[in-house]
Structures are given as structure tokens and as C-alpha cells.
Amino acid sequence: MKHLLVLDAGTTSTRAMLFARDGSCSATHAADIPQHYPRPGWVEQDADDLWQLTERVARAAIADAGGAERIAAIGIANQRETICFWSRRTGRPLAPAIVWQDRRTAAICRDLREAGEESGVQARTGLLLDPYFSGTKIGWALEHWPQLRAAGDDLAIGTVESWLVWKLTGGAHVTDAANASRTLLMGLGSGQWDDGLVELFGAPRAALPTIVDNAGELAETTLFGGRIAITGLAGDQQAATIGQGCLSRGEAKATFGTGAFVLANAGSAPPTSRHRLLGTVLTQIGGRRSYAIEGSIFVAGSLIQWLRDGLGLIARADESEALARSVDDNAGVYLVPALAGIGAPWWEPGARAAITGLSFASGRAHIVRAALEAMAHQCHDLKTAFAADGADWARLRIDGGMVANDWMAQDLADMLAIAVDRPHFTETTALGAAMLAGLGCGWFATLDDAVAAMRGPVESFTPAADPAHRAARLAGWQRAVEGVLASAR
């Protein structure tokens, strides 16, 4: 039996996973990715770490499969917006990779907004002017790192999947349309690099990769002892949307990983948001694009990590559920997790986290519970914005490491007042990459066929909260958020 090999290069870890045609996963190998914080608000990684750790887990998974000849194809999912810089000649990084969480370009974004550029940028890209996206990172790097300017035609620039494909193939320089749509440099309607945007952000056009489909014969590697085609590429959130089977307009998913990201299928026309949401490519297959509306929450699982590693309030992430259950309510405590600014629908990079409502009656459990409650509160803010854009959710499909927490899954249903579906296999980012790779290598005729064959059963959580309690909690959250925003302005 042959397998699909998925390389899931996330923000804090990279994994290699083996999938069968029925969506079952037979092996997983993972490695943590070191993070570097050279200044407050700056987040960097070593692109060599990204590659070497991914290669290591890939080799382990291929060995489990029985060798390269047992791999039908490779699919890649990746942390989006993180940007890498390397030499075409040596294949070595020329500078640190600037991670999507990095906020160093906040002043650049502010200046561009004040110059009246945001409306035009949004019209062309579906995105807003925020340090989150790759374009301002590229411009900053070219201005501040002279070795990049000195590289000239030797310079290559790409997001993480582009870097991994280069290393796997020894020089293929491509990016898929879904990842390209997160750079601020691609026209959402054209699917091509936009000359005006490239100039606006100071990105060297010759250093950018070729934009390709999300599925098909995209590249190939012989690095593992035989020829293996690379037939699926997608940013992690698009991959998770596919893995959740959100192929019809209006179907929505939320992934709770390092950050949390809600995507709703928007159909075949580029979407326009009037309420600070994003338009993005969901898939491009055979040159035809489908789109999604997205709301981005910058801090989710990383908040629990911070409670553990930064504050020492918990020893293990899974303690959070028991602590949340140990108290009847939050006792008036709210945690606004703006540890890396605050994302949609507020988009305030200068915001700072706050814990409000503390008293002598407050304990460790209340703070931890408030951290978990912040996931539902932030999602409710997004649901309100989606509804105002005419794209309300009838139900929400959830995934990611945090949703193993039953208490949090139920809290989402209670605060959103809709059913929440959690798949038994929650690694839907990797599953979506496998579906794309399966389509691209000919295992399936359509993406619908891939979803039908590979997506497994789900568990549903239905709303059970008292409406008055729900309204009181959301009002308290609104006051806490307004305080954080006021302090940032």
C-alpha cells in the first residue's frame, strides 16, 4: 500500500505524517521549531532549522512507510505569512525568517494607512495593512539588512512552503496561490503578482516565486532515494478548511493552534469585507480559484503556553480544562490576550494584553478559565463581523490542538449560540494537505471525492447556556476589550 506523505510545517513544530486513501494516519513524527525574540514584538526563526527539522521528520516517516517507493506523493501545509530569504546559488538563508506574529512593521503599516493606501490595498488583495502579512516584512528586510540588497539576482524570497520546495527539489522556486494571497503582493482576482503592490512594498519582483495551483504535478524531489512528486501545497488555514470539508459557500471552520483562524467558504468570486475581515484564496485548481472570508486571532494556544512557561500558572496545557471546571464562573475576571497585538476585527498592533476584574477572591483557576473563555469571546467578535458582512455561520467546525478540551468546545457552542462540530481526527490541517496531494497525484478525480473518502466522523456540541448568563459574559468581555483598545490609541 502506498501512502501520502504530509509535511505540516507549523509555527512551533514541524511534522511528517503518513495518510492512506481512507484518511487514516499511520505514522507521525514531530520536532519543535526554535523561536527567537531579538526585541519586543519581533519574532524570528532560522530557516535552516525549518528545513533541517522538516527533513529529519520526513526521513523518519518515509522509513516507516518502507522507503520512497512507498510514497505516492507529498503534500505540504505551512505557517502562512512567515517570510524566508535565501541564496539561489548556495540554497542557504541570507537572513532570519520573519514570523507571521512579528510586529516590527507596525509603523510602516500606520504610515501607509495615514497616506490613504489601505482601501486600494484591500480592493486588490482582500487584506488590510497590518504587520501580520508578508509584504511589509519584505520591504523592511530589504531596507535594514544590507546583505539582501547586496545579493542582487542571487536573492530568493518566499513563504515557508516555497522554501521547503526549494530545498526538496534543489531549486524549484514556486508558491501556491493560497499562500501567495497572504503576502499583500498578489491580486486576489488575477492570481498573479501585482506590479503596483510589488513597488509599494519594495519587494524585488525577480526574487519572488512563480505562483502555481494548490494541487497537481507541482514539483518533484529525489532527495529520499527515489522520485516523489509534490502534488499538494497550501497554507495551514486553507488546508484545515479543506480538511474540514468546507467546500460549499457559507461552510465555516475555526482552527485553534498557536493562533486561531476562522475561514468561511465564499465561493468563486473574490469577497469584499466592510467589517475588517479578510478575503483570501481558498484553492486554485486547474487555474480556477475559490475564495474564503477570514478572521484572524493572533493568540490562542500560545496563550496557554504563556500561562505555563511565562507565568507558571499551570505545569501542563491539559491542566487548563480541570482548572476551568473547578470554579463556577470567571468571578468577573477577563483576559484579553493581546500578547502580539490584537487581530480581527480590531486590527490594533499596539494593543497589549490585560487581565481585568481581579479581586482578593480571584485565584489561579479564574485566570486560567478566563484564558479559555477568551477563545469563545474572540470568536463571538468574529461571528458578529461575519454576520455584518452577510456571511454568518449556521454552525462551526473546529480543530487544532486546543479543541481536545471538551470544556472549551462546549463554551464555544454556548457563547456562539450555534452547534460546534469537532472531528474525531482533529489534525485537519495535515488531512487537508493530504486531500490536495491525493487529488494532485490522481488518487481522486475531484476535491469533493477526496473529502468524501478521507474525512472521518464528527462530534457535535450544542448550546446549553442560560441566555442571561451569556449576555452578561459577552458584555463584560466587551468592556475589557474596549479598555485594551483605548490604552493602545
Number of C-beta neighbours around residue 355 at 10 A:
16
pTM score of the predicted model: 0.89
Q: Are 413 and 398 in contact (CB under 8 A)?
A: no
SS3 of 212-250: ECCEEEEEEECCCCCCEEEEEEEEHHHHHHHHCCCCCCC
Percentage of the chain lying above the pLDDT 90 cut: 82
Smallest CA-to-CA distance from 197 within 291, 205, 142, 189 is with 205
SS3 at position 348? strand
Q: What is the mean pLDDT of residues 196-207?
A: 94
Read off the pLDDT of residues 362-372 as tens digits, 9 standing for 90 and up: 999 999 999 99
Matching fold, domains 3-237 and 245-423+457-489:
yes
Q: Can you give the length of the chain in residues?
A: 489
Residue written as cell 501556491? 176
Number of C-beta neighbours around residue 446 at 10 A:
11
Edge-to-edge strand ranges of the sheet holding 395-399? 278-285, 288-297, 260-267, 252-256, 395-399, 419-423, 458-461
Q: What is the mean pLDDT of residues 184-198?
A: 94
**Run of H or E including 256:** strand 252-256
Cell of 411: 463554551
Handedness of CA 10, 14, 19, 23 (dihedral sign): negative
Q: Are 102 and 45 in contact (CB under 8 A)?
A: no
For residue 353, CA distances in Å to 112, 134, 259 come to: 25, 24, 15
Smallest CA-to-CA distance from 100 within 384, 254, 296, 390 is with 296
- Put residue 152 in one of left, alpha, beta given phi > 0 → left and psi -120 to 50 → alpha: left
The C-alpha atoms of residue 281 and residue 182 are separated, in whole angstroms, by 8
Provide the 8-state DSSP code for 419. E
Read off the pLDDT of residues 121-143 as tens digits, 9 standing for 90 and up: 999 999 999 898 999 999 999 99
Percentage of the chain lying above the pLDDT 70 cut: 100
Read off the pLDDT of residues 379-429 as tens digits, 9 standing for 90 and up: 999 999 999 988 899 999 999 888 989 999 999 999 999 999 999 998 899
Q: Outline where DSSP puts E strands in 82-147.
A: 83-87, 97-98
In this prediction, residue 359 carries a pLDDT of: 92
The C-alpha atoms of residue 395 and residue 380 are separated, in whole angstroms, by 13
Read off the pLDDT of residues 73-122 as tens digits, 9 standing for 90 and up: 999 999 999 999 999 999 999 999 999 989 999 999 999 999 999 999 99
Read off the pLDDT of residues 289-298 as tens digits, 9 standing for 90 and up: 999 999 988 8
In this prediction, residue 163 carries a pLDDT of: 98
Number of C-beta neighbours around residue 114 at 10 A:
10
The C-alpha atoms of residue 93 and residue 421 are separated, in whole angstroms, by 41
User: Nearest 5°: phi and psi at 93?
Assistant: -60, 145
Looking at domain 3-237, what is its CATH homologous superfamily?
Answer: ATPase, nucleotide binding domain (3.30.420.40)
The C-alpha atoms of residue 221 and residue 170 are separated, in whole angstroms, by 8
Smallest CA-to-CA distance from 125 within 206, 211, 192 is with 192
- Would you list the domain boundaries of the chain? 3-237, 245-423+457-489
Of 155-159, 276-280, 436-440, least confident by mean pLDDT is 276-280
Read off the pLDDT of residues 344-360 as tens digits, 9 standing for 90 and up: 888 888 889 999 999 99
Q: What is the mean pLDDT of residues 151-176?
A: 96
Query: Around 70, how many Cα atoms within 13 Å sit in the side-chain half-sphere?
Result: 13
**Run of H or E including 489:** none
Indicate the pairing of strand 97-98 with strand 210-212: unpaired
The C-alpha atoms of residue 84 and residue 412 are separated, in whole angstroms, by 35
Which residues lie closer than 8 Å to 463 by C-beta, 6 or more apart?
413, 414, 416, 417, 418, 419
The C-alpha atoms of residue 320 and residue 411 are separated, in whole angstroms, by 13
End-to-end CA distance of the chain: 59
Average pLDDT, the chain: 93
Q: What is the mean pLDDT of residues 13-25?
A: 95
Question: Confidence band (pLDDT; 50, 70, 90) for 317?
Answer: confident
Number of C-beta neighbours around residue 487 at 10 A:
13
User: Nearest 5°: phi and psi at 339?
Assistant: -75, -15
Read off the pLDDT of residues 452-484 as tens digits, 9 standing for 90 and up: 999 989 999 999 989 999 999 999 999 999 999
Question: Confidence band (pLDDT; 50, 70, 90) for 1?
Answer: low
Provide the 8-state DSSP code for 254. E
Give the max Cα distance, the chain. Answer: 65
Q: What is the dihedral of CA 374, 379, 381, 383, to 10 degrees?
A: -160
The architecture CATH gives domain 245-423+457-489: 2-Layer Sandwich (3.30)
Residue type, 363: G
Read off the pLDDT of residues 215-269 as tens digits, 9 standing for 90 and up: 999 999 999 999 999 999 999 999 999 999 999 998 999 999 888 999 999 999 9
